[in-house]
A = this chain, B = another copy of it.
Amino acid sequence: MSTAARRQPDRTRQTLLECAFEEIHRSGFRAASLDAILESSGVTKGALYHHFGSKTELGYAVVDEVVRPWVESSWQPLLDADDCVSAAIRLCEELTRQRRARAIEYGCPFNNLINEMSPIDEGFRKRLQQILDDWRNGIVAALRKGQARGVVRKDIAADDAAAFIISAVEGAIGLAKSKRSREFLESSMRGLMAYLETLRARPGAGHGASR
């Protein structure tokens, strides 16, 4: 049996992180059962507690190494776009279209964790806040760049708009869980895209203030 090496600590750790992420996504962190994670990953309890000191530390590692990159990859395209409004609308369409049954049913892992853990655990709260700050700052930067280039209205407050947009996205995904259909999510995202259109600089406004 040389094809499958019997000791692969890095791979064991990664498998645990991925299976823990899935279980936490399905059940939430507190209801996530270590036994379930062990069963789905084929790892034993001794191995788990060799790699992670406690369930909480496992949760922190999931946030740092799975949730954070996952969230960041979802908005990074905004930074490179020439027209951030169009890029944002494209991301909205993608999100509406590609969401599979699982994501509709269980929602956004990032938002789920904030809702469940931020009020009761400082370690989670700080990590999740940082992810949220980075996301918001990314949108702020994209909007400011758009304002400098004349594709975004100059009379909007970029930080307020960024917080508002993130709230709407996460709120829509969260509330969609109460529905069996995707109608609410799609409708809310149409509302968001209509709002994004209002952020465009009116043609002819040029470099001057709009009023």
Contacts and interface: CB of A to CB of B under 8 A. Distances in A.
A156 B107 contact: no
Interface stretch (A4-12, A70-78, A80-88, A186-194): A186-194
Contacts of A47: none
A198 interface: yes
Contacts of A175: 111, 114, 132, 163, 166-167, 170
A129 interface: yes
Query: Which of the four size classes fits the interface of chain A?
Result: 35 or more
Interface in A89-126: 105-107, 111-112, 114-116, 118-120, 125
Interface in A23-78: 27-28, 30-31
A164 B119 CA distance: 26
Chain A, interface SS category: helix
Point out which of A119, A125, A161 has the most chain B C-beta atoms below 10 A from its C-beta. Answer: A119
Q: How many copies does the complex hold?
A: 2
B177 A171 contact: no
Given A163-B187, A171-B171, A174-B170, A116 B116 contact: yes
A178 interface: yes
Nearest to A27: B120
Contact of A174 (B171, B184, B192, B198): B171
A202 interface: no
B177 A163 contact: no
A191 B136 CA distance: 13
Contacts of A198: 195, 198
14 contacts: A119-B177, A129-B178, A132-B178, A160-B188, A161-B191, A162-B191, A164-B187, A164-B191, A164-B192, A164-B194, A166-B171, A167-B174, A167-B192, A171-B174
Q: Which 3 A-B pairs have the closest CB atoms?
A: A171-B171, A164-B191, A167-B171
Given A27-B120, A160-B191, 12 more contacts: A107-B115, A114-B175, A115-B174, A129-B178, A129-B179, A157-B190, A163-B175, A163-B188, A166-B171, A168-B168, A168-B171, A170-B171
